[in-house]
Amino acid sequence: MTEQLLAPATSRTAMQCLLDPRSVAVIGASRTSGSLGRRVFDALESGGFAGAIYPVNAQATEIGGRRCYASARDLPPGVDLAVIAVPSAHVLAAADDALAAGVRSLVVITAGFAETGPVGAELQRQLAAKVTAAGARMVGPNCLGLINTKSRVNASFSPVFPPRGRVALSSQSGALGLTILELARDRGLGLSTFVSIGNKANVSSNDLLEYWENDAETAVVTLYLESFGNPRKFAELARRIGRTKPIIAVKSGRTRAGVRAASSHTAALAASDEVVDALFESAGVIRADTIDEMFDIASAVSMQSLPAGRHIAIVTNAGGPGILAVDACERGGLKVSEFTRATRATLKSFLNEAASVGNPVDMVASAGADAYRRAIETVLSADEIDAVIVIYTPVDPAQSGMILDGIRAGIAGARATGNVKPVVACLMTDGARPEPLVVGGERVPVYVFPENAARALSKVTRYAEWRHGNFGPATRFSDVQTAQARALCASVIAARGDDWLRPDELRQLLAAYGIAITPGVAVRSADVAAERANELGYPVVAKLTSPSLVHKSDVDGVRVGLGNDEELRAAFADLMRVAQTLSLADAAVLLQPMVGRGIEMMVGVANDPLFGAVVGFGRGGTDVEIERDVHFRVAPLVDRDADALIRQSRALPRLLGYRGRPPADVPALRELLLRVSQLVTDVPAIVEMDLNPVMALPVGEGCAIVDARVRLASDVLRSTAGGRGQPAGSAS
Ligand code: ADP
Ligand code: MG
């Protein structure tokens, strides 16, 4: 401890100096109250910061009783942090001065940078370059500042100082930051650090994640995000950190514009916010729809332990709120199932006649403190229950105090026996935003409505399942020929530029990764067609193909189940007529053996402007855009991503076998997903892929890919019209 205090300042990293400073200069602190600089100075003073505070202002010799420095160059050496709140035209000079004096880190509050246009963006680039050159770190520009509750640093212009706690919070919006801080304070949610990251010219949310990973004060991370600088890095960090510290994020902009009109099924389906969901889901990030919900969830994970399963007991004194809670639980995937006979008998032994001893336990309006105490103790101790929601609707407000005591006593009684199951409460005691219920050293989160409690609990449960899951790495197949696959793509691009692969190229590319497609032969005359069909063996399928034809069924270009020569010749003539009507160039007919008994699924790849390659899986066929059963994961997939994709599909019951039909070869589908993921990860020129349909055959027979399309692009960035989807100047 002593050693740590005596250690020279330089042994701390610039990030530590930034987020936990021991001395702070305020550049632009002025004597005029209300100016930004003065507000920061006042906030720092009134927050109770114990370290040194240095106001910097050329126009003053003293501010708030402290000696004022004319220039940051005059500061004593080794100041941890300088907050810059001067007009944008002076920011670069102020940064120069501070960095020259050896200041380790900056918070630049001033706006007027990349958010204003190209001139501001250039200014921001220069500012960031100075910070990097000096080996310093910087939050902002264009931000609210930061707060550290442990060392009581309020280096922001927020007048609100949140209570100390274990939740770290980062906000991309400064304006929302103020509201968020008020919300945290009103809810009694304790924060460790708050950072308004502004334009992210130097420090990004990813940097903060890395800092919080090792910050002993932080147990839960909450993020308000508007854009991702580097989503892959985010996913990688989140997946690692989320195993010990839950990460809850609100990502605004749930609908995404600017995604290129897509010609493959997969790209059309991926052009939505679902990819963000996919990223969060596989990285274990808890996604909240609103800031309020983010705090609902943060309260639950920071105050209570994680549930061991999905079984919830509800204890209430009113039917309506109980039903609301049941519905919200079930919507969120939780189970409000019947109690065992023993639990029911115990409940019956002390509850009155009118009470229901089912789940929810509806103790009716007459329930007193003792009923609450014993009911809570009983359900918390029941083996079949993983978590409890307590609901109290006042009948006689004069009783509320006693009833709350009963609720506390019930929880305390269970805790005394070593029970750690999570409890959340919905106490409709008055209109105000409820404070957590204090039970000994524990705090029980209290929600305004039963749905809030249920929804928070369901998201926490999903997170707990993710965290308890197996984190095995991705299976890597060694029987693949990466160099060959890359060379093939390079030669196609050299010859034709960005294009769809032709059938023989497709077959070769997939074969290099151990993925076989159902063989087919292209024919151009009825006689040759008949000959080849005989060799393949009836029944066969005939498909019209042409480089200019995208979806064959759309033009009635697929004939299945052709059983003999006669049917084949008729189909051939038909398809040729279609080709003529449409004046298709280079039309041919592709013959394939008919795959009889499969379940039609699809595996696809799209290239997301932000996330890069995403792999999709779901029900296949010609109507996938209507069925909308396709879910995504960001490549490369780990094994559990592949499992999750298969589990998520609405076709799962069919794949597992139903009504006497044989179950499908799910391991083969899983292998296909992982091979496709490895292929597109190793060969980035593949920007779009549809394997549709993939016929899932009975166990042991694998799957048959009867239709495949792959598009290559030489420059992944150019192939997406939406740009990088982040404000100019975002660093990472
Ligand atoms: P497209 O997607 O261009 O319309 P497909 O080759 O996917 O053409 O064929 C459309 C539909 O025809 C498939 O979804 C499937 O139902 C059926 N089909 C195609 N080829 C076969 C085959 N070899 N065996 C069985 N059914 C097939
Ligand atoms: Mg198809």
Decide: 530 and 569 in contact? Cβ < 8 Å: yes
Measured in Å, residue 316 CA sits from the centre of ligand 2 at: 53
What span, in angstroms and rounded, lies between the C-alpha atoms of 607 and 717? 9
Measured in Å, residue 605 CA sits from the centre of ligand 2 at: 14
Atom index in ligand 1 nearest the CA of residue 690 equals 2
Helix (H) or strand (E) holding 276: helix 274-283
Residue 256 lies in a domain: no
Domain closes at, from 593, 624, 647: 593
Confidence at residue 534, expressed as pLDDT on a 0 to 100 scale: 95
Task: Please report which confidence band the pLDDT of residue 721 belongs to, taking 50, 70 and 90 as the band edges.
Answer: very low
Nearest CA to ligand 1 atom 6: 707
Task: Please report which confidence band the pLDDT of residue 625 belongs to, taking 50, 70 and 90 as the band edges.
Answer: confident
Q: Are residues 116 and 148 in the same domain?
A: yes
Q: What is the CATH number of the domain that holds 539?
A: 3.30.1490.20
How high does pLDDT run on average in the chain? 90
Cis peptide before 321 (omega within 30 of 0): no
Confidence at residue 470, expressed as pLDDT on a 0 to 100 scale: 66
Is it the case that residue 634 has pLDDT exceeding 50? yes
Measured in Å, residue 558 CA sits from the centre of ligand 1 at: 7
Measured in Å, residue 706 CA sits from the centre of ligand 2 at: 8
Side chain identity, residue 205: S
Q: Are residues 647 and 688 in the same domain?
A: yes
Q: Are residues 556 and 669 in the same domain?
A: no
Residue 73 lies in a domain: yes
Q: Which two tokens stand for residue 376?
A: 């809570």
Q: Are residues 130 and 72 in the same domain?
A: yes
Is it the case that residue 259 has pLDDT exceeding 50? no
Choose the residue to mutate in 555, 601, 707 for probing ligand 1, maximizing ligand atoms within 8 Å of C-beta.
707
Measured in Å, residue 121 CA sits from the centre of ligand 1 at: 51
Domain closes at, from 185, 218, 251: 218
> Dihedral of CA 563/565/568/574: which sign?
negative
Confidence at residue 231, expressed as pLDDT on a 0 to 100 scale: 78
Measured in Å, residue 703 CA sits from the centre of ligand 1 at: 14
Nearest CA to ligand 1 atom 5: 707
Decide: 445 and 424 in contact? Cβ < 8 Å: yes
Is it the case that residue 275 has pLDDT exceeding 90? no
What span, in angstroms and rounded, lies between the C-alpha atoms of 20 and 147? 9
Query: What is the domain count for the chain?
Result: 4
Residue 490 lies in a domain: no
pLDDT, mean of residues 36-52: 93
The phi and psi torsions of 544 (rounded to 5 degrees) equal: -75, 130
pLDDT, mean of residues 589-606: 95
Q: Are residues 442 and 546 in the same domain?
A: no
What span, in angstroms and rounded, lies between the C-alpha atoms of 607 and 599? 26
Q: Would you put residue 79 in left (φ > 0), alpha (ψ -120 to 50) or beta?
A: beta
Confidence at residue 550, expressed as pLDDT on a 0 to 100 scale: 82
Task: Please report which confidence band the pLDDT of residue 233 belongs to, taking 50, 70 and 90 as the band edges.
Answer: confident
Distance (Å) of CA 96 to CA 124, 136, 262, 287, 356: 14, 12, 48, 40, 72
* Residue 695, CB-side half-sphere exposure with 13 Å CA sphere: 16
Length of the chain: 732
Nearest CA to ligand 1 atom 14: 621
Q: Which two tokens stand for residue 71?
A: 């220039």
Spell out which residues have Cβ within 5 A of ligand 2, the ion: 692, 707
Helix (H) or strand (E) holding 125: helix 118-133
Q: What is the CATH number of the domain that holds 670?
A: 3.30.470.20
Measured in Å, residue 644 CA sits from the centre of ligand 1 at: 26
Measured in Å, residue 521 CA sits from the centre of ligand 1 at: 15
Is it the case that residue 537 has pLDDT exceeding 90? yes
Confidence at residue 434, expressed as pLDDT on a 0 to 100 scale: 75
Q: Which ligand is nearest to the CA of 706?
A: 1
Q: Which residue from 251, 253, 254 is spatially nearest to 287, judged by alpha carbons?
A: 251
Is it the case that residue 611 has pLDDT exceeding 90? no
Measured in Å, residue 709 CA sits from the centre of ligand 1 at: 13
Decide: 145 and 111 in contact? Cβ < 8 Å: no
Q: Which ligand is nearest to the CA of 697?
A: 1
Name beta bridge partners: 344: none
Is it the case that residue 6 has pLDDT exceeding 50? no
Atom index in ligand 1 nearest the CA of residue 596 equals 25
What span, in angstroms and rounded, lies between the C-alpha atoms of 503 and 589? 12
Q: Which two tokens stand for residue 502?
A: 């032709």
pLDDT, mean of residues 274-295: 88
Q: Are residues 190 and 54 in the same domain?
A: yes
Q: Would you put residue 56 in left (φ > 0), alpha (ψ -120 to 50) or beta?
A: beta
Q: Are residues 540 and 585 in the same domain?
A: yes
pLDDT, mean of residues 42-55: 94
Confidence at residue 193, expressed as pLDDT on a 0 to 100 scale: 97
pLDDT, mean of residues 69-84: 96
**Secondary structure, 3-state, 175-187:** HHHHHHHHHHHHC
Decide: 291 and 224 in contact? Cβ < 8 Å: yes
pLDDT, mean of residues 24-35: 88
Q: Which ligand is nearest to the CA of 599?
A: 1
Residue 418 lies in a domain: yes
pLDDT, mean of residues 444-448: 93
Nearest CA to ligand 1 atom 13: 621
| DSSP secondary structure code for residue 320 in this structure | H
Nearest CA to ligand 1 atom 20: 706
Q: Are residues 534 and 454 in the same domain?
A: no
Task: Please report which confidence band the pLDDT of residue 311 belongs to, taking 50, 70 and 90 as the band edges.
Answer: very high
Is it the case that residue 344 has pLDDT exceeding 70? yes
Burial class (CB in 10 A: 0-12, 13-18, 19+), 146: buried
Question: What count of other Cβ atoms lies within 10 Å of the Cβ of residue 393?
Answer: 17
Q: Are residues 324 and 355 in the same domain?
A: yes
Q: What is the CATH number of the domain that holds 444?
A: 3.40.50.261
Q: Which ligand is nearest to the CA of 598?
A: 1
Place of tokens 């007991």: 313
Q: Are residues 462 and 508 in the same domain?
A: no
Measured in Å, residue 448 CA sits from the centre of ligand 1 at: 53
Q: Which ligand is nearest to the CA of 551?
A: 1
12-26, 254-268, 432-446, 511-525: the lowest-pLDDT one: 254-268
Decide: 587 and 546 in contact? Cβ < 8 Å: yes
Residue 699 lies in a domain: yes
Question: What count of other Cβ atoms lies within 10 Å of the Cβ of residue 214?
Answer: 10
Distance (Å) of CA 135 to CA 17, 26, 129, 202: 12, 20, 10, 11
What span, in angstroms and rounded, lies between the C-alpha atoms of 294 and 167? 11
Residue 731 lies in a domain: no
Q: What lines the ligand 1 site, CB under 6 Å?
A: 518, 541, 543, 551-553, 558, 560, 592, 594-595, 600, 621-622, 692-693, 706-707
Side chain identity, residue 249: A
Measured in Å, residue 167 CA sits from the centre of ligand 2 at: 49
Which of 181-195, 219-233, 449-463, 471-485 has the highest average model confidence (pLDDT)? 449-463
Residue 149 DSSP SS3: coil
pLDDT, mean of residues 684-703: 96
Atom index in ligand 1 nearest the CA of residue 598 equals 25
pLDDT in tens, 652-678: 999 999 888 899 999 999 999 999 999
What span, in angstroms and rounded, lies between the C-alpha atoms of 180 and 292? 9
Q: Are residues 59 and 135 in the same domain?
A: yes
**Secondary structure, 3-state, 497-525:** CCEECCHHHHHHHHHHCCCCECCCEEECC
| DSSP secondary structure code for residue 398 in this structure | G
Q: Are residues 214 and 337 in the same domain?
A: no
Where in the sequence is the domain holding 47, given as residue range(s)? 3-218
Atom index in ligand 1 nearest the CA of residue 620 equals 14
Is it the case that residue 7 has pLDDT exceeding 50? no
Q: Which ligand is nearest to the CA of 553?
A: 1
Decide: 559 and 535 in contact? Cβ < 8 Å: no
Residue 163 lies in a domain: yes
What span, in angstroms and rounded, lies between the C-alpha atoms of 482 and 35? 61
pLDDT, mean of residues 190-204: 95
What span, in angstroms and rounded, lies between the C-alpha atoms of 98 and 107? 11
Decide: 374 and 410 in contact? Cβ < 8 Å: yes
Burial class (CB in 10 A: 0-12, 13-18, 19+), 637: buried
Domain closes at, from 560, 593, 626: 593
Task: Please report which confidence band the pLDDT of residue 77 belongs to, taking 50, 70 and 90 as the band edges.
Answer: very high
pLDDT, mean of residues 522-526: 95
Antiparallel, parallel or unpaired: β 361-362 and 145-148:
unpaired
Residue 275 lies in a domain: no
Task: Please report which confidence band the pLDDT of residue 174 belongs to, taking 50, 70 and 90 as the band edges.
Answer: confident
Name beta bridge partners: 499: 712
Decide: 267 and 317 in contact? Cβ < 8 Å: no
Q: What is the CATH number of the domain that holds 111?
A: 3.40.50.720
Nearest CA to ligand 1 atom 18: 560
Contacts of 229 (CB under 8 A, 6+ apart): 200, 204, 205, 206, 726, 730, 731, 732
pLDDT in tens, 323-336: 999 999 999 999 99
Question: What count of other Cβ atoms lies within 10 Å of the Cβ of residue 88?
Answer: 18
3-17, 73-87, 426-440, 534-548: the lowest-pLDDT one: 3-17
pTM of the model: 0.80
Report percent pLDDT > 70 for the chain. 92
Burial class (CB in 10 A: 0-12, 13-18, 19+), 50: exposed
pLDDT, mean of residues 352-372: 94
pLDDT, mean of residues 205-218: 96
Task: Please report which confidence band the pLDDT of residue 544 belongs to, taking 50, 70 and 90 as the band edges.
Answer: very high
- The angle at the Cα of 726, spanning 725 to 729, to the nearest 5 degrees, equals 145
